[in-house]
Amino acid sequence: MSDTTQIEEPLVKIRGLTFRRGSRAIFDGIDIDIQRGKVTAIMGPSGTGKTTLLKLIGGQLRPDAGTIHVDGQDIHALNTRELYKLRMRMGMLFQSGALLTDISVFENVAYPIREHTDLPESMIRKLLLLKLEAVGLRGARDLMPSELSGGMARRVALARAMVLDPMMIMYDEPFTGQDPISMGVLVKLIRKLNDASRLSSIIVSHDVQETAQIADQIYVISNGRVIESGSPERIMNSELEWTDQFVHGHADGPVPFHYPAADLDEDLLSGSRMESSC
Amino acid sequence: MLEQLARLGRVGITFLKHLGRANLLLFNILSGVGEVLRRPRLLIAQIYSVGVLSVLIISVSGTFVGMVLGLQGYYILSQFGAEQTLGVMVSASLVRELGPVVAALLFAGRAGSALTAEIGLMKATEQLSGLEMMAVNPIRRVLTPRFFAGFISMPLLAALFGALGVLGGYFVGVGLLGVDDGAYWSQMQSKIDLNKDIYNGVIKSLVFGVVCSWIALFQGYDAVPTSEGVSRSTTRTVVHSSLAVLGLDFVLTALMFGE
Ligand SMILES: Nc1ncnc2c1ncn2[C@@H]1O[C@H](COP(=O)(O)OP(=O)(O)O)[C@@H](O)[C@H]1O
Ligand SMILES: [Mg+2]
């Protein structure tokens, strides 16, 4: 009774989500809640469908079954106009940054503003300098995307994702391929932006340490199902064998190191038999 | 036997699926025409990179093709004492056939392959998905202006090709081989028909412009988003465009000049 504010409707509510590629089920009936104002991490090994999940939330892919509600709206029941309107309030940071290669950093970040608002040029400039300052790249505004390092490109993409003041930002593998310094910068930046702008953040990642550092809530997915969810402490000290192996990177465990193959001895022998028969 | 039949069926189904996707894409591209009209800058930038940047190769090829026509035409026509009609021969071949067709083949190689590679790379580097997530329709924003740029540039490039070819033929025939200056132009003027020759040539190059741009954009948009996939799509663009241009040229010629 007293804590009605606590049972606030989650920003993203995924129910019974099923998605197939060919005959393979990438997701097989998963339920996920993304709470408002929190950093939620979704973790799993490569190829489990983390990017696919973000594309489903963004309405770029359609599920085979189940629903995704974003801010109370069923995203796959919207028409194109409504979907685009909702997307203006969702920022997404792609793994590669996805900057437009033929325009400068400044124009890249300005792109959504020019596209969706009629702000005068002087306002755009001020707004942009503030956003670029927030990611520490005000001085790089005239560079072309090809002149940026990987970490810088990702920060530019972050500025662009934030420029329309969205309600949420989705990060696709933000830490992969970063040097330790950019990694540290990004980790702090994501947390800071989330808390300063009252955002909700979704991080999909397989970088366990960094993600656990900033997440409020973690979902671990594998083979199309949510294996475990909870606070970072709970996940890091998980009793589940699978989670334990994933989080601590053991070579042995429920996830085999070897790709399924015939017995080694047999393989070696059959090779020599083939040679001698030639 | 049954297996071969099944394989044939599979090829057929794959082909029809491609055709369906290509048609759907064309429909989506065309539905963006309002956006192009509202932002003419996008179109102008693309006319520059698709059309203007092809001017050099088109000019050089046109000139040389005209010069060769002048040379070959002179040798044949002079056997019948008809070398004074060289102007007609050169201009008719250029306006009716070589202008539209060779310009389209060069266009496919120069601009079409570049379009496919550009779109394919934008797909591979998630730029198209990125636009979509910024609530911008990538087909209308990226593909539509390129399509219309090809459509507009093609006839202009073919005209340039033809004009320079006529000059090249003039240079060889009149300048080097001694055909009469006045005869070269006056024969051309009296025998080349506006409707039959010029308009039909323009119609051909408009058709080729649509087909080449459509194939290039579809191959880029449908490319497997890896470097290998993009390079394969780029090759396919050149092959498919060339075959389509040559095949369509026969059909169009039969329709236009039949009877
Ligand atoms: N366009 C596509 N067509 C077919 N299969 C795809 C496509 N995109 C991704 N996949 C497959 O879907 C699975 C999940 O991909 P993805 O979401 O990119 O995984 P993650 O981001 O977790 O590494 C992978 O096995 C991948 O091979
Ligand atoms: Mg991924």
Q: What is the DSSP string of A35-101?
A: -TTSEEEEE--TTSSHHHHHHHHTTSS--SEEEEEETTEEGGGS-HHHHHHHHTTEEEE-TT----T
Higher pLDDT, A150 or A276: A150
Whether A3 shows a pLDDT value over 50: the answer reads no
Ligand found nearest the CA of A95: 2
ipTM: 0.82
Does ligand 1 have an atom closer than 6 angstroms to the CB of A95? no
Query: pLDDT digit of tens for each residue in chain B (259 aa)?
Result: 889 999 999 999 999 999 999 999 999 999 999 988 988 999 999 999 999 999 999 999 999 999 999 999 999 999 998 888 999 999 999 999 999 999 999 999 999 999 999 999 999 999 999 999 999 999 999 999 999 999 999 999 999 999 999 999 999 999 999 889 999 999 999 988 888 889 999 999 999 999 999 999 999 999 999 999 999 999 999 999 999 999 999 999 999 887 6
Ion ligand 2 neighbours, Cβ < 5 Å: A 51
User: What percentage of chain A reaches a pLDDT higher than 70?
Assistant: 94
Sorting pLDDT into bands at 50, 70 and 90, what band is A261? confident
- Token duo for residue B212: 């080449």
Q: What is the pLDDT of residue A2?
A: 43
Q: Which residue of B has its CA nearest to A92?
A: B133
Q: Is B38 on the interface with A (CB under 8 A)?
A: no
- Token duo for residue B158: 């073919």
Q: Which residues contact B137 (CB under 8 A, 6 or more apart)?
A: A84, B32, B131
Nearest-neighbour CA in chain A from B65: distance (Å): 36
Ligand found nearest the CA of B226: 1
Distance A250 CA to ligand 1 centre (A): 24
Q: Do A84 and B130 touch (CB under 8 A)?
A: no
Whether A241 shows a pLDDT value over 90: the answer reads no
Domains of chain A: 12-100+168-250 (3.40.50.300)
Whether A30 shows a pLDDT value over 80: the answer reads yes
Beta pairing class for A12-21 and A65-70 = antiparallel
Q: What is the pLDDT of residue B259?
A: 65
pLDDT per residue as tens digits for the range A247-259: 888 777 777 667 7
Whether A5 shows a pLDDT value over 70: the answer reads no
Distance B111 CA to ligand 2 centre (A): 33
Of the segments A145-154, A174-183, B42-51, which one has the largest average pLDDT value? B42-51
Q: What is the pLDDT of residue B186?
A: 92
Q: Which residue of A has its CA nearest to B133?
A: A87
Give the pTM: 0.86
Instruction: State mean pLDDT over A204-228.
Output: 89
- Token duo for residue B150: 């090809």
Q: What is the pLDDT of residue A275?
A: 53
Q: How many Å apart are CA A71 and CA B34, to the nearest integer?
A: 32
Is there a contact between B225 and B123 (Cβ–Cβ < 8 Å)? yes
Q: What is the pLDDT of residue B242?
A: 96
Q: Do B135 and A101 touch (CB under 8 A)?
A: no
Residue with tokens 């309405």: A59
Q: What is the mean pLDDT of chain A?
A: 86
Sorting pLDDT into bands at 50, 70 and 90, what band is A273? low
Q: What is the pLDDT of residue A1?
A: 42
Q: How many Å apart are CA B137 and CA B130, to the nearest integer?
A: 10
Task: Identify all chain B residues contacting A96, using CB atoms and an 8 Å cutoff.
Answer: 125-126
Whether A260 shows a pLDDT value over 90: the answer reads no
Q: Do A94 and B130 touch (CB under 8 A)?
A: yes
